[in-house]
């Protein structure tokens, strides 16, 4: 029966019309929390207690004194409808509010509120300061309870079993009732809960910033801000992009860089998946999220609005900015931001003359040109008198080091795999956390640390005018600070090295995280850049490396591969024994995955390498679609190595044997092999241990997934499941393979650099350089094909 039939409740159900049909199964997780079956006393009339809970829920959403904005109610309309559809017939002789108080006392007396915290929150009623906080408590309770119900459903869809944020939010409501949140009540009283949801979130954030000296209230406000912001981000994204799949993860936008272009400020935002509650992502999975930036970057353009400009003009203006960004990232010779070596040497010559005259503005411009920094970044660059150690690193990522007769720029290059398990230290090479870039000696006579922090904006304009007067080259402040990046891109320097020299973080340049970079190689490029400015630079040998350590040492890797393959060949001789065939199949599939991983550098995903239709042995190409879950296609064609082609032939022969020989004894296995060969099912699969039934034993088919890869490779290489991507990229970088080919293989192309773009002139034939390099590597480490059945 609907709420209209309740004796002591108003006829209004909700403040917005309900259009969606409720799905009771979607609320199973909520039902288990507020209508539990595992109760402590079977003698209690739990139907009555359930009726009390439903009464309070319906009362919560039907109270006409609580005016909430439609922007919030639209986010929780499904939860409101579910509450309306709960079956409940009120009885006139039952005092539901008294029963609610008794029920709360029962929970408190038995000391089980922590287990039934959501029930206690739903039944809570304000008992103190009702005049001041009565309406405030009703608003806060309604917003919190509805938001919590929505987040519980979101968590259930994402397999999050526990969320402390929700428990804290309900605790704030429960403790509000007995005056244990008085300071919190004072702070939230300044918030108008009838405003739009985005305005409420902003108001809470502002109040949180005001509570600098009261950490407890700040934490409570931050919790309220967090649950509303999570709900808002999740539901608004669903409305704009359609209903999300149940296994799609929550995401957040992070600003990874900012620059100015054509009088517009460009914020580069990256859409990063994030887990909530006790769902901790593995470090390698975070790496892979950052590893495909070309389809995850969003450019937020901020400009001053022109007074008289229609929509068509705004559209053309936005299109112009997009084209400018694309040209800027490509560093084409036709770009107005590019300068020839001869032009930039003329500019440097003028700057050096002004520096010799004691011009501080010229010194700052020279530093910006040399280091690729803006004036703001240069102004906060820390200066030290000796090399920074690991224990001295705080929030900074680069430092100027002033020695006795030399100046260095020290950059921090720490990635997820800079540290590895102690037992793996013999297999994996060591890396340094820092790289020191020597600066030319011409700086020494003119430089003092305080000069970098002086405001020289007016003098800078004069210097730029002087450059134009003497050389005829019109150059802007932005072009000066961006020249380093332009030069690195124009000279086709590898993305990882470009990222390190230009001071990018791993979030801004994913290839850094995947690359083992010899410091001498990087310093040679740095020396080449400084020389292109017309300045001599001496560089000392470093004999170390930076970046990822997941590039096994050759001599140790050879021994490991030889021992592994010897063990595999022993098992091969036992493959026809009935009790060993499943173990042999899994060992063979593992070897296939190992060779394919090192041949393609594919990301570890479920149903890795797709189906039989995804590769062609004749053309020696395989289609990798390891990021197809996004809104744009991310598949790419990768040429196969000779070793991979041979192993795939063995795989087809292996599957054909299984389809023919197991059709009667193990029909499920035979069927899996048949659909793998026909392309109707996954190409690769594991066999789990037999489960004994009444008639026979059957094996369970297990798909390739990151979790299963971690399990089956644990006794061979206990490394992150994406270690092969680090090893392949590091080896290709070591062999000086062009960065554009490496990025095409890894799926790391940036905007304007897509290898398979419809306007790209690149040929697939060029990619066959990569399998030739990898086949030579496989010969060096003595990796071989293994035949199955």
Instruction: List, as one string, the DSSP characters of 387-445.
Output: PPPGGG-SS-SEEEEE-SS-EEEEEE---TTSS--GGGTTTS---BSEEEEEPPGGGTT
What CATH number did the domain enclosing 769 receive?
A: 1.10.443
- The Cα 701–Cα 668 span in angstroms is 8
Q: Degrees (nearest 5) of the Cα angle 535, 539, 544?
A: 145
Neighbours of 107 (CB within 10 A): 19
- The Cα 642–Cα 482 span in angstroms is 43
Q: Using alpha carbons, list the distances in angstroms from residue 279 to 223, 327, 697.
A: 18, 40, 35
Classify residue 334: in a domain, yes or no.
no
**What is the value of pTM for the model shown?**
0.64
- The Cα 729–Cα 224 span in angstroms is 44
Domain boundary among 241, 271, 292: 241
Query: Do 166 and 94 belong together in one domain?
Result: yes
Q: Degrees (nearest 5) of the Cα angle 761, 762, 766?
A: 150
Question: Across the strands, what pairs with 568?
Answer: none
- The Cα 552–Cα 718 span in angstroms is 12
Classify residue 786: in a domain, yes or no.
no
Classify residue 671: in a domain, yes or no.
yes
Classify residue 255: in a domain, yes or no.
yes
Classify residue 117: in a domain, yes or no.
yes
The 10 Å CB-count burial string (b at 16+, else e) for 771-780 is bebbbebbee
Query: Do 417 and 468 belong together in one domain?
Result: yes
User: Do 434 and 410 form a contact (C-beta atoms < 8 A)?
Assistant: yes
Q: Which residue's entry shows tokens 């590898």?
A: 494
Question: Across the strands, what pairs with 246?
Answer: none
pLDDT < 70: residue spans in the chain: 1-25, 37-46, 129, 131-132, 210-214, 235-310, 323-337, 391, 419-422, 627-634, 690-698, 751-753, 756-761
Query: Do 267 and 403 belong together in one domain?
Result: no
- The Cα 341–Cα 343 span in angstroms is 5
Largest Cα–Cα separation, the chain: 97
- The Cα 203–Cα 334 span in angstroms is 48
Query: Do 270 and 218 belong together in one domain?
Result: no
Q: At what angle do helices 554-572 and 581-600 cross, to 10 degrees?
A: 150
User: Do 348 and 328 form a contact (C-beta atoms < 8 A)?
Assistant: no
User: pLDDT tens digit string along 405-444?
Assistant: 889 999 988 887 776 666 777 888 988 888 999 999 888 8
User: What pLDDT score was predicted for residue 734?
Assistant: 93
Instruction: Count up the domains in the chain and report the number.
Output: 4
Query: Do 455 and 566 belong together in one domain?
Result: no
- The Cα 720–Cα 187 span in angstroms is 46
Q: Using alpha carbons, list the distances in angstroms from residue 61 to 53, 54, 124, 188, 423.
A: 13, 11, 15, 21, 58
- The Cα 494–Cα 109 span in angstroms is 67
Q: What is the CA radius of gyration of the chain?
A: 32
According to the 3-state scheme, what is the secondary structure of 225-292? Answer: HHHHHHHHHHHHHHHHHCCCCCCCCCEEEEEEEEEEECCEEEEEEEEEECCCCCCCCCHHHHHHHHCC
Query: Do 85 and 65 belong together in one domain?
Result: yes
Query: Do 612 and 742 belong together in one domain?
Result: yes
The two structure tokens encoding residue 416: 């997820």
Query: Do 155 and 289 belong together in one domain?
Result: no
- The Cα 647–Cα 596 span in angstroms is 9
- The Cα 120–Cα 107 span in angstroms is 8
- The Cα 301–Cα 309 span in angstroms is 17
N-to-C CA span, the chain: 66
Alpha helix segments (H runs only) across 331-433 = 341-356, 360-371, 375-379
User: Do 587 and 570 form a contact (C-beta atoms < 8 A)?
Assistant: no
User: What pLDDT score was predicted for residue 52?
Assistant: 83
Query: Do 353 and 498 belong together in one domain?
Result: yes
User: Do 767 and 553 form a contact (C-beta atoms < 8 A)?
Assistant: no
- The Cα 256–Cα 253 span in angstroms is 9
Question: Across the strands, what pairs with 400?
Answer: 383, 409
User: What pLDDT score was predicted for residue 22?
Assistant: 44
Of the candidates 235, 234, 220, the one whose C-alpha atom is nearest the C-alpha of residue 170 is: 220
10 Å CB burial of residue 21 (0-12, 13-18, 19+) is: exposed
Q: Say how many residues make up the chain.
A: 789
User: Do 141 and 192 form a contact (C-beta atoms < 8 A)?
Assistant: no
Classify residue 787: in a domain, yes or no.
no
- The Cα 152–Cα 743 span in angstroms is 40
10 Å CB burial of residue 739 (0-12, 13-18, 19+) is: buried
Residue-wise DSSP of 302-321: E-PPPSS--HHHHHHHHHHH
- The Cα 231–Cα 244 span in angstroms is 14
Query: Do 385 and 409 belong together in one domain?
Result: yes
C-alpha 521 chain-centroid distance: 30
Query: Which residues, in sequence order, are CB contacts of 518 under 8 Å at separation 6+?
Result: 545, 734
10 Å CB burial of residue 468 (0-12, 13-18, 19+) is: middle
- The Cα 481–Cα 483 span in angstroms is 6
The two structure tokens encoding residue 502: 């230009």
Domain boundary among 547, 563, 585: 547
Of the candidates 357, 358, 363, the one whose C-alpha atom is nearest the C-alpha of residue 379 is: 363
Domain boundary among 492, 524, 547: 547
Query: Which residues, in sequence order, are CB contacts of 178 under 8 Å at separation 6+?
Result: 127, 128
Structural domain span for residue 38: 3-241
10 Å CB burial of residue 477 (0-12, 13-18, 19+) is: middle
User: What pLDDT score was predicted for residue 44?
Assistant: 61
Classify residue 531: in a domain, yes or no.
yes
User: What pLDDT score was predicted for residue 615?
Assistant: 93
User: What pLDDT score was predicted for residue 329?
Assistant: 65
3-state class (DSSP) for residue 131: helix
User: What pLDDT score was predicted for residue 498?
Assistant: 92
- The Cα 147–Cα 61 span in angstroms is 12
- The torsion of the CA quartet 59, 62, 65, 71, rounded to 10 degrees, works out to 130
Classify residue 405: in a domain, yes or no.
yes
User: Do 78 and 20 form a contact (C-beta atoms < 8 A)?
Assistant: yes
Reported as type and span, the H/E element at residue 102 is helix 96-109
User: Do 758 and 780 form a contact (C-beta atoms < 8 A)?
Assistant: no
Query: Do 465 and 591 belong together in one domain?
Result: no
Query: Which residues, in sequence order, are CB contacts of 365 under 8 Å at separation 6+?
Result: 351, 460, 463, 464, 477, 480
Query: Do 325 and 391 belong together in one domain?
Result: no
- The Cα 690–Cα 586 span in angstroms is 13
């Amino acid at each position: 029966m609907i709420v209209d039939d309740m004796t002591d409740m108003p006829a209004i159900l909700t403040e917005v019309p309900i259009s969606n049909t409720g799905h009771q199964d979607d609320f199973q997780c909520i039902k288990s929390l507020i209508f539990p079956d595992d109760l402590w006393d079977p003698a209690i009339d739990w139907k009555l207690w359930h009726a009390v809970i439903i009464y309070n829920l319906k009362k919560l959403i039907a109270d006409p004194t609580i005016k909430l904005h439609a922007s919030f109610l639209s986010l929780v309309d499904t939860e409101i409808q579910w509450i309306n559809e709960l079956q409940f017939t009120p009885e006139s002789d039952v005092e539901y509010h008294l029963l609610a108080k008794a029920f709360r006392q029962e929970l408190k007396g038995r000391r089980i509120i922590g287990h039934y915290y959501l029930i206690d929150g739903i039944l809570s009623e304000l008992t103190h300061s009702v005049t001041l906080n009565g309406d405030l408590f009703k608003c806060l309770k309604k917003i919190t309870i509805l938001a919590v119900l929505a987040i519980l459903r979101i968590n259930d869809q994402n397999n999050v079993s526990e969320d402390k944020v929700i428990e804290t939010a309900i605790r704030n409501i429960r403790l509000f009732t007995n005056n244990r949140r008085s300071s919190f009540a004072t702070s939230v009283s300044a918030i108008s809960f009838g405003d739009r949801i985005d305005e409420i979130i902003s108001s809470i954030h502002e109040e949180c910033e005001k509570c600098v000296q009261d950490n407890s209230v700040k934490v409570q406000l931050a919790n309220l801000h967090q649950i509303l912001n999570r709900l808002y981000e999740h539901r608004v994204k669903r409305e704009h992009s359609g209903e999300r799949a149940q296994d799609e993860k929550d995401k957040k936008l992070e600003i990874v860089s900012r620059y100015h272009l054509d009088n517009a400020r460009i914020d580069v935002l990256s859409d990063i998946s994030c887990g909530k509650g006790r769902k901790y992502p593995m470090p390698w999975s975070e790496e892979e999220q950052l590893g495909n930036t070309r389809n995850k970057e969003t450019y937020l353009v901020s400009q001053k609005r022109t007074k008289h400009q229609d929509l068509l003009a705004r559209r053309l203006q936005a299109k112009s900015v997009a084209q400018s960004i694309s040209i800027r990232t490509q560093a084409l010779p036709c770009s107005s931001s590019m300068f020839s070596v001869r032009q930039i040497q003329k500019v440097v010559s003028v700057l050096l003359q002004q520096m010799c005259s004691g011009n501080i503005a010229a010194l700052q411009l020279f530093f910006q040109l040399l280091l690729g920094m803006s004036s703001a970044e240069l102004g906060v660059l820390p200066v030290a008198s000796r090399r920074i150690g690991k224990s001295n690193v705080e929030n900074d990522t680069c430092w100027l080091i002033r020695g006795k007769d030399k100046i260095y720029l020290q950059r921090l290059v720490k990635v997820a795999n800079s540290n590895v398990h102690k037992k793996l230290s013999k297999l994996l090479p060591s890396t340094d956390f820092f790289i020191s870039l020597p600066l030319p000696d011409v700086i020494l006579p003119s430089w003092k640390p305080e000069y970098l922090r002086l405001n020289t904006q007016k003098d800078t304009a004069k210097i730029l005018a002087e450059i134009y007067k003497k050389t005829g080259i019109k150059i802007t402040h932005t072009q000066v600070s961006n020249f380093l990046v332009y030069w690195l891109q124009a000279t086709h320097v590898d993305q990882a090295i470009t990222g390190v020299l230009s001071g990018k973080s791993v979030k801004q340049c994913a290839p850094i995280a995947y690359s083992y970079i010899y410091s001498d190689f990087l310093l040679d490029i740095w020396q080449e850049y400084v020389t292109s400015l017309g300045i001599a630079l001496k560089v000392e040998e470093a004999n170390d490396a930076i970046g990822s350590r997941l590039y096994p040492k050759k001599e140790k890797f050879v021994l490991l591969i030889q021992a592994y393959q010897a063990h595999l060949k022993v098992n091969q001789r036992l493959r026809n024994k009935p009790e060993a065939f499943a173990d042999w199949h899994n060992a063979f599939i593992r070897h296939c995955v190992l060779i394919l991983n090192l041949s393609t550098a594919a990301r570890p995903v479920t149903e890795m390498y797709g189906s039989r239709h995804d590769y062609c042995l004749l053309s020696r190409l395989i289609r990798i679609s390891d990021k197809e879950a996004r809104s744009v296609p991310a598949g790419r064609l990768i040429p196969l190595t000779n070793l991979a082609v041979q192993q795939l032939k063995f795989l087809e022969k292996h599957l054909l044997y299984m389809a023919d020989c197991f059709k009667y004894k193990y029909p499920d296995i035979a069927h899996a092999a048949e659909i793998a060969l026909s392309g109707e099912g996954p190409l690769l699969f594991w066999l789990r241990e037999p489960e004994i039934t009444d008639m026979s034993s059957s094996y369970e088919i297990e798909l390739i997934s990151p979790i299963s890869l971690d399990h089956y490779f644990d006794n061979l290489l206990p490394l992150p499941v994406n270690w092969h991507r680090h090893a392949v990229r590091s080896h290709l970088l070591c062999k000086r393979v062009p960065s554009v080919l490496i990025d095409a293989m890894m799926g790391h192309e940036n905007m304007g650099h897509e290898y398979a773009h419809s306007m790209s002139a690149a040929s697939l034939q060029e990619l066959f350089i990569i399998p030739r390099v990898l086949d030579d590597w496989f010969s060096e480490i003595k990796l071989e094909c293994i035949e199955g059945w």
